[in-house]
Structure 1
Amino acid sequence: MKFARRIIFTTVLAVVGVFFALPLTWLILAPFDGHPTMAVKWPRWTLSNFRRLLDNPYAMGSIRNSLIIALGTMAVVVVLGTLASYALSRVRIPGRDGLLYGMLLLSSIVTGTAAMVPTFQLMNAIGLINTHTGVILVLAGGLLPTVVFILKDFMDSVPKSYEESARLCGAGPGRILADVVIPVARPGIAFVAIWAVVQVWGNFLVPYLLLRDPGSQPAAVVMYTFYTESGQADLRLISVFALVFAVPVLLIYFFVNRRFGFRFYGGIKS
C-alpha cells in the first residue's frame, strides 16, 4: 500500500512538472523555429526571427520603455516604502496596525480594473497622460501598501540598541537610517525591489490606459500588436520577443540571488 501511494505521488509530481515545463520549453525552442506553432516541437533552426524582431520599429524600444517604468517604479516604492516603514516601526501612533492592514486590504480590493476610470481622469487632470511619470506614479501607488507592510517587519527586526549607540555618537535620524538601519534591513529592501520590478514588468492595463504613443509603450503593450496582415497572431515575432522580454527579469533574479541568496530573515509580528 505504501509503495502504491509512492508511485501515485511520483506520477502526480511528474505530470505537474511536465505541465509547467512545456511552456518554458516552447519559450526556449520556438524563437529558433522558422515556422513556430503553439505545439512544442523540435525547431527548424534559424535566426531569421531575431532579424525580424530588430526590423520592427517599436519592439526594442518597448524593452527600453519597460526598463524605464520598472526601474522608476522600483526606485519610488523602495525610497518611500523604506521611509514609511521605518517611521511606522519606530513611532507609536494609535491604530498603527489597523492602518497597515487597512492599506493592504484596500490595495487588494481596489484593483487597477476597478480604479481605471478615476485613474485616467486624475492623470488627465494633472497632465500626465502619455508620460512615463504618470505610469510610474500609478503603479507605485498600487504597490506601496504591500511594500510598507513587508518592510515594516524588517524594520522591526533591527535592534534598537544599534540606533541608541549611533545616537550617543551624535548621529541624527537621517544618518541612523542610512548607516545603521538600511544596511541591516538590506535583504528585505532587495526583496521588495525585485518584487516591484516583477510586478511592473508584465503589467498591461495601466500602460495601455495611460500611454497613447506607440513609441512610449512598454513591451507588454507592444506585444499585443504583433499580428500578421491577415489578422493572425505572428508567432514568429511573438516567440522571439517573449524570450527577449523574459531575459531582463531572469538577469535581475540571478543577480539578486547571487548577491543575497534570498536568505531573508524576519517574520510577521503581532
Structure 2
Amino acid sequence: MSAAISSGRPNGRIPAILLSFIFAVIVLGPVAWALATSFKTEVEAVAVPPTLWPSTATLENYLKVFRDQSFLRDFWNSVAYSVGAVALALLVGIPAGYAAARFSFKGKRTLMLTILATSMVPGVALLVPTFYLLDSIGLLNSGIVVTIILSARIIPQTVWFIANFVEAVPVEIEDSAFMDGANRFQIIWHLILPLIRPGIAAVATIGIVTTWNDYITVAVFAPEVAKRTLQVALVNQVFDAVGISWSYMMAFVVIASMPVILMFGLVQKWFISGLTAGAVKG
C-alpha cells in the first residue's frame, strides 16, 4: 500500500509542475522578449514575422542609452528619490512601529487602523489638490517635496511591518536590558534594530521597488525635465514625435530595471527571512 502511495506522488505533482511552468512562461516570457529585442537592430525589432532571437546581436542600443546626456541625470534622480524616501520612511516608521508594539494607550487600535487606511487611499485621488497646493506655494519641481510625497506613501506599511517585527521580539529581552541600566534609545539602537534587521531589509526592499517604479508622482509634481526619473523618461519616449525605437526602448528598460533586480538579489536572503519574521511571535 505504501508503495502504491509513493509511486503515485510523482503523478500528483505533475499538475503543480505544469501550472508552475505556465506561470513562469507568463512572467518570464515578456522579460525574455524585451531582453532579446534590446540586442536587435531596429529593422529586425519591427520585422514581420517577428524573430525570437536576434540574427546578429548588437550592443549599439545599450551604447546609445549610455551616450544620452540626460541618462545619468535621470538615473541619479531615481536613486535620490528612492533612497531618500525609504530613509525618511524608516526614520519615521521605526520609532512609530516600536511605540505601537510596546506601548499601550487609549485609541491605539483606532490610530493604527487609521494609519493603515491612509495607505488605501488611491494616490490619483490626491494628485489634483496636492498639485494646486504645491503650485500656489511655489514648491513644484522640488526634489525634497517629491521625496517627502513618495515617503508618505510607504510610511503606513512601514509602521505596520516594523510593529509586527518588534512584537516578534520577546519583551523579556528588553526587561533584562532595563535591569542592566540601558535606556530606551540604547535598547532600540543596540538591541531591537539588530534583531529586526531582516525585517528592515524587507521593508526597505519593498519601499525601493515601490518608489523606483513610481511614475505619476514625479511626472505631476516635478514636470521639469531636469527633475525627471528614468521612468518618466521612458514614458516620454512613447510620446516622442519622432517615433518609438523599440530596440532602444527595450535596452533602456533593461538598464532601468537592473538596479532593482541586483538589489533584490543581494538582499534576497534577508528579504525572505524578514517577511516571515513577523509571522512567528517569540
Question: Is the structural similarity TM-score above 0.5?
Answer: yes
Asked whether the 8 Å contact 1:226–1:237 carries over to 2, the reply is no
Output one character per residue of 1:210-266: Cα deviation in whole Å (capped at 9) or x when no partner: 1122122111101112259754322122111101011100111111125x2622312
The aligned counterpart of 2:3 is: none
Output one character per residue of 1:67-95: Cα deviation in whole Å (capped at 9) or x when no partner: 00000011011111001001111211122
Output one character per residue of 1:100-128: Cα deviation in whole Å (capped at 9) or x when no partner: 122212321x2110000122233335543
How many correspondences in the alignment? 266
Unmatched 5+ residue regions in structure 1?
Answer: none
What is the letter of the counterpart of residue 15 of structure 1? I
Alignment partners' CA distance in 1, 2:109 and 2:179: 30
- Return the index of the structure with the highest Cα Rg: 2
What is the letter of the counterpart of residue 133 of structure 2? L
The aligned counterpart of 2:178 is: 167
Matched, 1:19 2:26: yes
Alignment partners' CA distance in 1, 2:129 and 2:242: 33
Output one character per residue of 1:195-215: Cα deviation in whole Å (capped at 9) or x when no partner: 100000110110001112212
Asked whether the 8 Å contact 1:120–1:210 carries over to 2, the reply is yes
The aligned counterpart of 1:88 is: 100
Q: 1:45 aligned to 54, 57, 65, which one?
A: 57
Asked whether the 8 Å contact 2:39–2:61 carries over to 1, the reply is yes
Deviation at 1:145? 0.9
What is the letter of the counterpart of residue 160 of structure 2? F
Deviation at 1:268? 8.2
Asked whether the 8 Å contact 2:93–2:155 carries over to 1, the reply is yes
Unmatched 5+ residue regions in structure 2?
Answer: 1-7
The root-mean-square deviation of aligned C-alpha atoms, in Å, is: 2.4
Give me the TM-score of the superposition, normalised by structure 1.
0.89
The aligned counterpart of 1:262 is: 272
Deviates more, 1:46-55 or 1:140-149: 46-55
Deviation at 1:54? 2.2
Matched, 1:194 2:205: yes
Matched, 1:55 2:55: no
Matched, 1:71 2:83: yes
What is the letter of the counterpart of residue 117 of structure 2? L
Asked whether the 8 Å contact 1:139–1:200 carries over to 2, the reply is yes
Deviates more, 1:206-215 or 1:99-108: 99-108
What is the letter of the counterpart of residue 101 of structure 1? L
Asked whether the 8 Å contact 2:205–2:271 carries over to 1, the reply is no
Matched, 1:138 2:120: no
Alignment partners' CA distance in 2, 1:65 and 1:89: 35
Taking every aligned residue pair, what percent have the same amino acid on both sides? 25
Mapping of 1:117-156 within 5 angstroms? 117-156=128-167
Asked whether the 8 Å contact 1:65–1:216 carries over to 2, the reply is yes
Asked whether the 8 Å contact 1:58–1:214 carries over to 2, the reply is no
Deviation at 1:134? 0.7
